[in-house]
Amino acid sequence: IALSKTSKRTFRLQKKTALKKAAAASKERTTLVDLPAELLLSILDQLRPSDFFALSRTSKGLRAYILASRSEFGNAAIKRRYAILTQCFPRPVLLANVDSDAHAALQDEERQVKLLHAHKNQNQHVAPPDARLICTCLTCMLAWNNLCLVVDFAHWRLNLEQGLPIQMIKRGRKPQWNKDLVGRNAAVVQKALHDELWYARILEQHLKSTTSAIRRHTNNRSNQKEHFKMDKEDVAREDDNFLEKNGPPTMNFPWHRDNYYMLEAYLPNRGWNEEVGGWRYMPREQHLTDVAFVEKWVRRRNIRGDLHLVLERKLRLMSSLTVRHKFILQTYLDPKQASQPVPKEQVRSLELQRWLRDDSRKGAV
């Protein structure tokens, strides 16, 4: 039978070993990544897009996991929470996803100059799109403007909730703070073009802006306009299902930040159908129709340009023939009569007329 060691030295060694084990056990922390896959996915399915961004800042492991699966998380959040908003605010189509035969028409220099000029004159709160990045058909231009507007509207939400004035811009002025703000908004939208999680984040912010605006206008007793019906349960669910109810349609684009004060529920690209008793949304095929229209417009413009060149050539030919007419008239007719503009029918000699006709044919060649 072995005797147990009860010396002081053995006791100190056992105590030291126990402390080391306790310290090692305290360092082993359990994170979300250590949970079973089914439990982890069920937890992540309940998160908002903003929660994913906050969660990605907690550890490198979670950040790598979220970045690797951001498309799945973004699509799941959109399908579960923002099924209506994604139809009201579709993303513009990337130019790389457009038929290459239409690139020349979409990037036509004359058309781009007109679009850029119109955009700069009308929108101080929306950055012009990059024609090298996205399609610039009418549908995609409106989609870009709407997404940039949503981000800008969310930026001023706190001012609207607290009754603080929105900083305005005088006509003809281009302050640096507005350039920086518009540039940041455009950068967010560009991220959303490639990343579904960023796209879901924009829709989440607009849902917050919409619920805040509906609550603000509903509490304003002086505002007798029709409002969307929204209760506390709708706000607590944090989804857009209540926007499927009948309510005031969106008719106009807010061309100025001054329109934010009365903006309640900005939900473009849909209209109420009384026959079916529901909203009808713009079809996704409208993009293809607009691209075909741009191609047709450029072809017609080019044909008109070719006709213009032909007319210019004919005018130059007629001008040269007029000089030849004067030379021949001065040679064969009375010099006094040749100094005056003489119509062609006054040329008396048939032989002279034949000579003029043959000469004009040579000039045309």
Is the model's pTM score more than 0.85? no
The reported pLDDT for the residue numbered 160 is 93
- 56 token code pair: 């990605």
- Specify the higher pLDDT residue, 36 or 200: 200
Q: Between 151 and 225, whose confidence is greater?
A: 151
Any bridge partners for residue 279, and if so which? Answer: 272
What is the pLDDT of the chain when averaged over all its residues? 82
Indicate the SS3 state at residue 281.
Answer: strand
pLDDT tens-digit map of 290-333: 999 999 888 887 776 666 566 566 555 555 555 555 555 445 44
Instruction: Say if residue 213's pLDDT is above 60.
Output: yes
Which token pair is 28?
Answer: 């082993």
* pLDDT, tens digit (0-9, with 9 covering 90-100), for 39-74: 888 888 889 999 999 999 988 888 898 999 899 999
Identify the weakest region by mean pLDDT among 56-65, 68-77, 236-245, 257-266: 56-65
- Predicted pLDDT of residue 358: 55
List the domain boundaries for the chain: 72-291, 299-364
String of DSSP letters for 285-341: THHHHHHHHHHHHHHHHHHHHHHHHHHHHHHHHHHHHHHHHHHHHHHHS-HHHHTS-
In DSSP terms, which residues pair with 270 in a beta bridge?
Answer: 281
Going by pLDDT thresholds of 50, 70 and 90, the confidence category of residue 351 is: very low
pLDDT at 73: 93
What is the pLDDT at residue 350? 45
Most confident region among 17-26, 94-103, 145-154 by mean pLDDT:
145-154
The per-residue pLDDT for 35 is: 78
Collapse the DSSP code of 96 into the 3-class scheme (helix H, G, I; strand E, B; otherwise coil) and give the result: helix
Q: How far is CA 323 from the centre of its chain?
A: 58
Which residue reads 């998160």 in tokens? 47
Tens-digit pLDDT profile for residues 151-204: 999 999 999 999 999 998 888 888 999 999 999 999 999 999 999 999 999 999
**Position 344 pLDDT exceeds 80:** no
